[in-house]
Amino acid sequence: GLGHDVTEQERAALTLRESEARYRELFEANPHPMWVYDPESLRFLAVNDAAVAQYGYSRAEFLAMTIADIRPPGDVARLREAVAAQVDNAPPRVWHHRRKDGSLISVEISSHRLQFDAHNAVVVLANDVTRRLAAEQQLRKLSMAIEQSPSAVVITDPGWHVEYVNEAHVATTGYAREEILGRSVLVLRSPNVGTPEEPALSDTLAAGRAWHGEFTNRRKDGTDYVASAVVAPIRAADGTVTHFVAVQEDITEKKRLAEELDHHRHHLA
């Protein structure tokens, strides 16, 4: 008889089985959809409970499908190119996926290769970013609307230090952004005019309401102008005032024309 010491082999095999068991537990318990697929046939080899819940297919239905079945038809060619170029540790990519009910979701995909039941396979983590992308798109729209607004927009911190001005503010005041950011809004006020509006402004904002009124401001070149303004507090979810926003329109010419018209009417009278 011949004997071979297989202690190390047995220990290695046990370690491998334990590692695979832990990996499967993590796979199943992950709150994000995960699946394993064959990169040659694109067939699903395993899916976790989160994928079943997210996409609406049963596990049996998933295992009878390929990953092309959850992509819009126009994505299939791009999908095969991506699979062919699969590189571990590549940055996540965003794809459109179709659920069983026909709805489309935007999904950020992270993937890497692994051995799965003797298959060369790819494991995928799919993070639904549909709401995040919609929120980002909404923020971009709001940002563009503010930046391209014909009215000057100023956002300050609670201490009235400027944190943002739009292009119309730059054009109206003559101050470049880097000249005004971080400074008090009082730098814009004309020293030739008192500030009778400030008590009403403070009281109105303290009551949580928007203030409507006029400011006499001074441009960088030293000329004064009258601005019709709406100033409002910006609050966090807990009600704390985090910023103030002011929307201003230069009405100097409008006031001059109105005064001339009043003077003309008075003369006629």
Q: Give the pLDDT band of residue 81 (cuts 50, 70, 90).
A: confident
Lowest mean pLDDT among 13-22, 48-57, 135-144, 164-173: 13-22
Q: Which residue has the higher pLDDT, 263 or 201?
A: 201
Per-residue pLDDT, 84:
67
Give residue 173's pLDDT.
Answer: 95
pTM of the predicted structure, to 2 decimals: 0.64
Q: Is the pLDDT of residue 85 over 60?
A: yes
Query: Using an 8 Å Cβ cutoff, are 118 and 206 in contact?
Result: no
pLDDT digits (tens, 9 = 90+) for 87-142: 555 678 889 999 999 999 999 998 888 887 777 888 899 999 999 999 999 999 99
The answer to whether the beta carbons of residues 28 and 35 sit under 8 Å apart is: no
Letter string b/e over residues 119-129, b meaning 16 or more CB atoms within 10 A of that residue's CB: bebbbbbbebb
Q: Is the pLDDT of residue 260 over 80?
A: no
Backbone φ and ψ of 209, nearest 5°: -110, 160
pLDDT tens, 186-199? 899 888 765 545 67
Which is more confidently placed, 31 or 261?
A: 31
Gap between the Cα atoms of 193 and 212, Å rounded:
18
Q: Which pLDDT does position 127 carry in this prediction?
A: 93
Q: Which residue has the higher pLDDT, 19 or 97?
A: 97
Tell me the mean pLDDT in the region 217-227.
93
Q: At residue 210, does pLDDT exceed 80?
A: yes
Contact between residue 151 and residue 248 where contact means Cβ atoms under 8 Å apart: yes
Q: Does residue 256 register a pLDDT over 90?
A: no
Quick one: pLDDT at residue 195?
53
The burial class, CB within 10 Å (0-12 / 13-18 / 19+), for 159 is exposed
Inform me whether the pLDDT recorded for 248 exceeds 70: yes
Structure tokens at 12: 């290695």
Is the predicted pLDDT of residue 10 greater than 80, yes or no? Answer: no
185 DSSP assignment: G
Helix, strand, or coil (residue 205) = helix
CA atoms within 13 A on the CB side of 72: 10
Beta bridge partners of 90: none
